[in-house]
Chains A and B, each alone.
Chain A
Amino acid sequence: MSEPAKASSERIIRTFRALFMLAIGAALAWFVYTNATQPDANYPFKLGLDLAGGAHLVYEADTSAVEPMEVDELMGVLRDVIERRVNLFGVSEPVVYVEESSFVTDEPIQRLVVELPGVTDVSQAVNEIGRTPLLEFKLLDQERAAQLASTTIATSTLGFSDPYVDTGLTGRYFERADPMLPQNSQGGGFESSPYLNITFSNEGGDLFEALTRENVGEQLAIFLDGELLSAPTINEPIPGGTAMITGNFTAEEVRNLSENLNFGALPLPITLASTQTVGATLGAQVLEHGIAAGIIGFALVLAFMVLWYRVPGVVAMIALLFYVVVMLALFQFMPVVLTAAGLAGFVLSLGMAVDANVLVFERMKEEYRSGKDSREAARDGFTRAWSAIRDGNFTSILSAIILFWFGTSIVKGFALVFGLGVIISMLTALTVTRTLLIALPALSYQTDRWGWLYNSGSKK
């Protein structure tokens, strides 16, 4: 290939790369925009309770009475129990999760966090969550069931609204439930699927024996918090205070059921340790202010970059827009909840994100003034500035990791925004800025009339 042909094909590649980069940016921006504006988007922004309004409750569980080995399991059950109760409020998308205190505390403290979007009066929620649940055994009354099924008139005239009859046997008499797996290999087993073994207290055992003797063939329904769990059929009178509940259960179902039964009462005593509520309109205001601060701050940064660095400044502007779009896309994609603190961290990062660009441009300017053309100066600028960018950013990333590791949820959000900001700003400077700068026509500071476009500042 002749020299001019080679040069021109290189130019085409450079231009193509730059255009490709811009196309990716535009596509990503479109993706972010549609996700943010469409009401039923797959990846919307997730707003924290301090921006969306709502209640954040933290409970501490007293684990002093249980074996350390059991703590995780019990906390899981506690979460399920509380989640079930919270779901009954009709709050949209409540979140319940377990959080362990970090190792700075002498004894690990188990916490249960309940987030209720839109709820600002927490009194009802607190009462419901702290309530002792009810485990009940009821008999299915076939007559009533038949009547209910056949009748079309309002159920109120029947004097009952469901076909179940109280038996007096409740969680008070219940001792424990064990999930059992079928033991066909031992020959004696006749159960083909996992089942449940229930043990009653002495008193409960007597009650249960009487109940089963009198109601063979009936269905015994088991309720938790008024919700039907299962309704096994009584095959024969059951003495001895234990019962077997069979059915077409999977191992998973049996385990869940036994947990539900075992912990009909909350498995661990809990106390409310922290409450935070924010009014919805107030949260919206905070969000609005944060967005305004972000836009104005960003505009100031961009204006400065363009005025000071001229052509490279415009390129930095594009790279920064890229940065913002990538960050917003990450907020949508990743399980990041945006909080007031996270938003502040993001605004801060807008100011710091130019750093890699500034480092490169200053380096580039030195090379440019010393006689290299703008493209060569850009290439050298990137090479020379790399060690400073790497070392400076690496410590920031380490700080962010430590912050994330130590942090409670609010700190985690900030740390994530901060750490991602450092990484993404570095990557956009190294890819977008570089590709675009190299694609631009090469000018010389000394000989070209337009050479000042790559110079910076006020001097000369």
Chain B
Amino acid sequence: MQIISHQHIFLGIAAAIMVVSIGIIAVLGLRLGIDFTGGSLTEASYVERPEKAAVETALDDLSLELGAYSLRESTNDAGQPAFNLRTRDLTEPERQTVSATLTGLGVDGAVTRFTSIGPTIGQELRDKAVWAIGAVAAVIILYVAWAFRGVGRPVGSWTYGGITILALIHDVLVPTAVMAVLGVLIGAEVDVLFVMALLAVLGYSVNDTIVVFDRVRENLLKFRQEKKVMVKNEYGQPEEQIEYIPTKPFAEVVGLSIDQTILRSINTSLTTLFALSALYFLGGSVTQTFALVLMAGVLAGTYSSIFFANPLLVLLAERNAQRAAAKDAAVVE
């Protein structure tokens, strides 16, 4: 109940989180990876890594027009020192020249990874990512509105769907902001894996929100009384109708539902975080950013389902009640 009685604070925090996240994303921006822009990424590993400056000089001396490239020192999955070179999309002969240049320096150099993505594939992946996220969001709002269709009062089923989507936006903004920060700190790039992480966050977040809503739905049915009233039907004949009178205020029902589900929300997010931290600390370098982004998403999702979605539900219900009261008052006058 504490959560609902302090709903304005928690809603304020959620709003602040969203604003800050948007600010971070707007200021820092996201670094799009070659999956989306097209380009080539070469990882050359060494027993002894050459000087970065020497590699840069060698690359600049090539007669290829490499344009702007970025060369970063890194460690490959076998623990060897390595360089990551990101360039424009390289053709096969260009790849051979660049590979030879990279491996010619240092001790025992070898190209351990090479990825080249043409512009059309990059474009398609970008469009696909936007489509996929949009489609998932649309399906979710439709399903939630449908699943909660019988709930009716004091808020309609579309409100549940709409709030689920708002919570989703909250949960996606946070990991995206984390990604923007990681981009500045370690040069993390938005790639297909990031989009997958976001979609997984979507799934997780909805699940989390729905579990609480489900309890609200159940408790609304539990805390109500049947009352038979006589109304006139369309022919003016008296007819018996059943009305339901809630025996508990909506805010209390929601508060109770949160209390009943909060342990489950925390426990499931804990086990998920356990698995993700194992992935972050022990998993391969490929999926490290993926794990970090997901952790941010899971934390945001847990927060939003408890402290954002449900307080917002109560707020909207109160709005509705006020509006209905104002309407009644107007009719009486």
Contacts and interface: CB of A to CB of B under 8 A. Distances in A.
Interface of chain A: mostly helix, strand, loop or mixed: helix
Interface in A261-282: 271-279, 281-282
Interface in A375-395: 384, 387-388, 391-395
B218 A293 contact: no
A109 B124 contact: yes
A15 B23 CA distance: 59
A407 to B, nearest CB: 8
Contacts of B287: 290, 340-341, 343-344
Contact of A350 (B112, B207, B275): B275
Given A275-B116, A387-B214, A410-B192, A402 B271 contact: no
Interface residues of B, number: 77
Nearest to B147: A391
Query: Interface size for chain A: under 10, 10 to 19, 20 to 34, or 35 or more residues?
Result: 35 or more
B159 to A, nearest CB: 16
Interface stretch (B46-54, B58-66, B136-144, B314-322): B136-144
Q: Main secondary structure on chain B at its contact with chain A? A: helix
Nearest to B43: A282
B244 interface: no
Nearest to B287: A344
B115 interface: yes
Contacts of A195: none
A292 B270 CA distance: 19
A331 interface: no
B66 to A, nearest CB: 17
A16 interface: no
Contacts of A362: 260-261, 263-264, 267
A396 B275 contact: no
A402 B140 CA distance: 11
B275 A300 contact: yes
Interface string B125-149: 1011001100110011001100100
Interface stretch (B9-17, B170-178, B277-285): B277-285
B263 to A, nearest CB: 6
Interface stretch (B194-202, B233-241, B246-254): B194-202
B76 A277 contact: no
A58 B45 CA distance: 25
Given A276-B115, A279-B113, A352 B272 contact: yes
Contact of B118 (A274, A296, A347): A274
A427 B260 CA distance: 24
Contacts of A276: 114-116
Nearest to A122: B92
Nearest to A295: B278
A289 B120 contact: no
Given A304-B271, A388-B214, A394-B143, 19 more contacts: A102-B124, A273-B121, A275-B116, A279-B112, A289-B77, A290-B283, A290-B284, A297-B278, A301-B271, A304-B267, A308-B267, A341-B286, A344-B279, A348-B279, A387-B214, A388-B210, A396-B207, A402-B139, A408-B128
Interface of B: 45, 76-78, 91-92, 95-96, 110-118, 120-121, 123-125, 127-128, 131-132, 135-136, 139-140, 143-144, 147, 192-193, 195-196, 199-200, 202-204, 206-208, 210-211, 214-215, 217-218, 260-261, 263-264, 267-268, 270-279, 281-287, 290-291, 294
15 contacts: A102-B124, A273-B120, A275-B116, A279-B112, A279-B113, A282-B112, A289-B284, A344-B193, A344-B283, A344-B286, A348-B294, A359-B264, A387-B217, A391-B144, A395-B139
Which 6 pairs show the lowest CB-CB distances between chains A and B?
A351-B275, A297-B278, A351-B272, A273-B118, A297-B275, A392-B207
